[in-house]
Amino acid sequence: MRLIVAEKPSLARAIADALPGSIRREEGALHAGDSVVTWCLGHLLEQAPPDAYDPAYKQWRLDHLPIVPTRWQLAPRPKARGQLSVIRRLLKQAGEVVHAGDPDREGQLLVQEVIEYLGWKGPVARLLISDLNRPAVQRALGRLEDNARYQPLYRAAESRSRADWLYGINLTRAWTLTGRQAGHDGVLSVGRVQTPVLGLVVRRDAEIRNFSPYPFHVLWVDLAVANGQLRAWWQPGETQRLDDQGRLLERAPAEALAARLPGAEGQLSALENRQKRQSAPLPYSLSALQVDAARRFGLSAQAVLDICQRLYERHKLITYPRSDCRYLPKEHLAQARSTLTSACGQDETLRGWLAGADFTLRSRAWDDKKVGAHHALAPTGKPAEPGRLEQAEADVFRLIARNVLAQFYPPLVAREVKAEFTILGERFRSSGQELLQPGWKPLFTTRDEAPALPSMTEGEACRVVDCGIEDRETRPPEPFTDASLIKAMMNIARYVDDPEVRRTLREHDGLGTEATRAGIIETLIDRGYLVRQKKTLRATRLGGGLIASLPEAASRPERTALWEQRLADIAERDENPAPFLASLIEDLAGLLASADADRLRQALSAAQGEAAAAPMPRRRKTTGKRRRSPAGRTRRKPRTSG
C-alpha cells in the first residue's frame, strides 16, 4: 500500500480525487485504488515545553536561564493525538510513503517531522503541488521526486523552529520575570520577528509624536505660451533660506518676487520630452495582494489571507496562495487563454477585461528562473460563479485574475514633458504627462489622467497671466496601516543602515514570510502591544514600554537578516546547522544579561501609546493547560515563537 501524507485535509481530498479508482473514506484517511491518503492538520507536533527537559523548568526562574536542550524533543499538539494515531497505524501497513507537504520550508518540516517522529525508516518520495485542480494534481503525481533531495530544506526549517524556541522561551521568561520585579503582572512576550515588527510601529509613533511642524511657502505662476496655458513653480536659489528638501522657509522673498511677476515675460529655457513605456504590474505574491486589497477594499492582512485560503481550498479558484513569488512558469503560458477564458467567463467585469486581452503577447511575468517553490497567485481555470462567492471573495479574486490578464495587454505608453522657464532671472519648472497608449491601465483605474502640457518649443516666449503664494506646513509621517506595515515588512531593508544587512534582507524577502505576516500583526494586537484604530495600527503603552526596555538589537530587523542568511546556507548549500544554533546560544547570554528591572520599570512608566493603560489581550480559544502565577491567578502559557 502506498501512503500519501498531505499537509491538510483539503490537499488530501484533491490528491484522492486525482487518483484512479473510486474513493472510500475512513476516519482520518481516504482510500483510492492501491493508495491511501491521510493528512496533518497543520503542525501536529511542536517543540516540547521546557519542563519536558526538566520538571523544574515548569516554574519560571531567572536562574534557570538560558534553557538550552541537549537533545531536542517534539510533543503532539493538544488536538493532534487522534490524527497521529491514524498516521501511525497507516505507516505500519505502508509499503511506500509519499510526503505531500506544501512546497516550502514549513511544508517540508511539518510532514517530515511526523513521518520521522512515528518511526518510519523506509524511503520517502516527495509530491509537490501548488494547484489543487485535478489536472494539475495528476501532473504532479506523475513526477514524484526523492524526498532526500529536500533534506537541506528540512534541516533549515528545523533549525529555524529550534532557534525561535530558544529565542522566544528564554527572552519571554527573562522579560516577564523582570517585569514582575518592576511591578508588571503579565507575560511580556518577545520574539525574533514579532518584536522587530512592534519596533517599527513604536518608532513610527514616536516620530509622529515628536514631530515639530514648520511652515514653508510655494510660489506658482500661470503662464501663457504659444499653444495654451500651464502652471509652473518657482525654484528658489541657494541665496534663499531653504530646508534640506529645497523648500522656502521665509515668505518675504516670495512676496517680493510675486509683486513683480504680473504681466512679466520670459522664455522656455529648457525642454525635456521623452516617451515612456511601462509594462503591466506583475501577478501577485500574497503580500503584494494584501497591500493592494487593504488599500482598495480596507481588508486587513489576515482577512486577505483567510479569503485566499477559501479561494484555494474551498472554491479551488486560485493556485497556492502563500507565495512570495510574482512570476509564473513558462508552461502555464500555453494554457493561459483557455484557463483565463474559463475562469473569467461568468464575471461581468472580468469578461470585459478578457475581451481586450491579446494572447499573442508575452510579458516578463513568464520566467522559470524566477519561480522557486511557488509561483505567483493565478486563477486555476475553474469558473468563478459570482453567486457562490462572498463579496470580499469576489473582490479579491478579481484582483488576482486582473493582474494575470494584464500580462496580455500592451504596455502603457506616455509622453513625459519637463519644462523650465526663465522669468525676471528666476527659474520656474513645470511637468506633465500625455497618455499615448493606455495599454493595461484601464484594468487598474478609471480616473482621468492630469491634463497634458501644451506642445512647446525650446526658446519660445511665455507671459505671466497670474501668480500666487501657497502657505504650507510640513507633515509628520503617516501612522502604519495593515497595508503599509505589510509593505514595510516586505521592504524591511529600507529601515536598515548596514549595506550588507540591507542586501541580505532584500534577497530573503524581508521580515516574516508570506504565510506569517498577517498572523504577526494579529498576534501583536492579541497580546496588547498594538491597537487598531479605524484603519491605522498604533502601539500601546505596553508595546512602547517593552521596546524601550529591550536591547536595541532585539527590536530591529538586523537579527532576522543574519538568521535568514544562515538558514539559506543550510537550505541551499547543505551547511551544518550546529554552528548557527551555537552562535545563537552565545548571543542569548548577552541579551539575557541586559534584562534589568529598573530599566523596565522606567520604560513602562515613561512609555506613551494609544491607551492610558495597555488593553487586555483578546482571549484565544485554547486546549492547552493553564499554570498558576505566583500571585495565585491563572495565566495562559504564552506562545513564544516568532
Closest residue by Cα to residue 548 from 112, 209, 186, 203: 203
What per-residue confidence (pLDDT) applies to 627? Answer: 36
What per-residue confidence (pLDDT) applies to 267? Answer: 97
Asked if residue 155 has pLDDT above 90, the reply is yes
Asked if residue 624 has pLDDT above 60, the reply is no
Contacts of 524-527 with C-beta under 8 Å, sequence gap 24+, read 524/194, 524/197, 524/198, 524/201, 525/618, 526/617, 526/618, 526/620, 527/187, 527/189, 527/617
Amino acid at 421: F
What per-residue confidence (pLDDT) applies to 514? Answer: 81
When pLDDT is cut at 50, 70 and 90, the band that residue 503 belongs to is: confident
How far, in Å, CA of 535 to CA of 480, rounded?
A: 9
What per-residue confidence (pLDDT) applies to 132? Answer: 76
Put the strands of the sheet holding 480-481 in their side by side order.
480-481, 536-539, 530-533
How far, in Å, CA of 200 to CA of 405, rounded?
A: 35
Among 56-65, 235-244, 278-287, which is the least confidently predicted range?
A: 235-244
Closest residue by Cα to residue 455 from 427, 476, 438, 434: 434
When pLDDT is cut at 50, 70 and 90, the band that residue 619 belongs to is: very low
Positive or negative: CA dihedral 20, 21, 22, 27: negative
Asked if residue 304 has pLDDT above 70, the reply is yes
What per-residue confidence (pLDDT) applies to 188? Answer: 95
Given the residues 150, 167, 320, 409, the one annotated as active site: 320
Asked if residue 634 has pLDDT above 50, the reply is no
* Structural contact between residues 489 and 286, judged by C-beta atoms closer than 8 angstroms: no
User: How far is the first Cα of the chain from the last one, in angstroms, to the nearest whole number?
Assistant: 39
SS3 503: helix
When pLDDT is cut at 50, 70 and 90, the band that residue 159 belongs to is: very high
What per-residue confidence (pLDDT) applies to 631? Answer: 33
What per-residue confidence (pLDDT) applies to 555? Answer: 93
Tell me: cis bond preceding 66? Omega within 30 of 0 counts: yes
- Provide the percentage of residues in the chain whose pLDDT is more than 70: 93
- Look up the pTM and report it: 0.84
The yes or no reply on domain 2-149 and CATH 3.90.1300.10 is: no
574-587 residue pLDDT tens: 899 999 999 999 99
What's the average model confidence in pLDDT over 609-625?
Answer: 43
381-413 residue pLDDT tens: 999 998 899 999 999 999 999 999 999 999 999
Q: Do domains 2-149 and 286-408 have the same CATH topology?
A: no
Q: Which residue has the cell 503591466?
A: 280
- Residue 552 DSSP code: G
C-alpha cell at 367: 520566467
How far, in Å, CA of 92 to CA of 388, rounded?
A: 42
The phi, psi pair for 43, rounded to 5°, reads -75, 115
How far, in Å, CA of 192 to CA of 196, rounded?
A: 7
The phi, psi pair for 523, rounded to 5°, reads -65, -45
Within 314-368, residue ranges assigned H as helices are 336-344, 348-355
Helix (H) or strand (E) holding 227: none
When pLDDT is cut at 50, 70 and 90, the band that residue 105 belongs to is: confident
What per-residue confidence (pLDDT) applies to 104? Answer: 81
Asked if residue 618 has pLDDT above 60, the reply is no
When pLDDT is cut at 50, 70 and 90, the band that residue 636 belongs to is: very low
330-383 residue pLDDT tens: 888 999 999 999 999 999 999 999 999 999 999 999 998 888 767 999 999 999
Among 25-29, 176-180, 529-533, 638-642, which is the least confidently predicted range?
A: 638-642
Instruction: Say which CATH architecture domain 215-279+412-473 belongs to.
Output: Distorted Sandwich (2.70)
CATH fold of 286-408, please?
Topoisomerase I; domain 4 (1.10.290)
Residue 320: active-site member? yes
Among 240-244, 286-290, 403-407, 563-567, which is the least confidently predicted range?
A: 563-567
The CATH H-level (homologous superfamily) assignment of domain 156-210+480-616 is Topoisomerase I, domain 2 (1.10.460.10)
For the chain, what is the mean pLDDT? 90
When pLDDT is cut at 50, 70 and 90, the band that residue 559 belongs to is: confident
When pLDDT is cut at 50, 70 and 90, the band that residue 637 belongs to is: very low
Closest residue by Cα to residue 562 from 580, 585, 589, 547: 580
If phi > 0 it is left, if psi is from -120 to 50 it is alpha, else beta; for residue 290 that is alpha
Other CB atoms within a 10 A radius of the CB of residue 561 amount to 25
What per-residue confidence (pLDDT) applies to 449? Answer: 67
Asked if residue 611 has pLDDT above 60, the reply is no
Domain residue limits, the chain = 2-149, 156-210+480-616, 215-279+412-473, 286-408
CA angle centred on 466, ends 463 and 470, rounded to 5° = 130
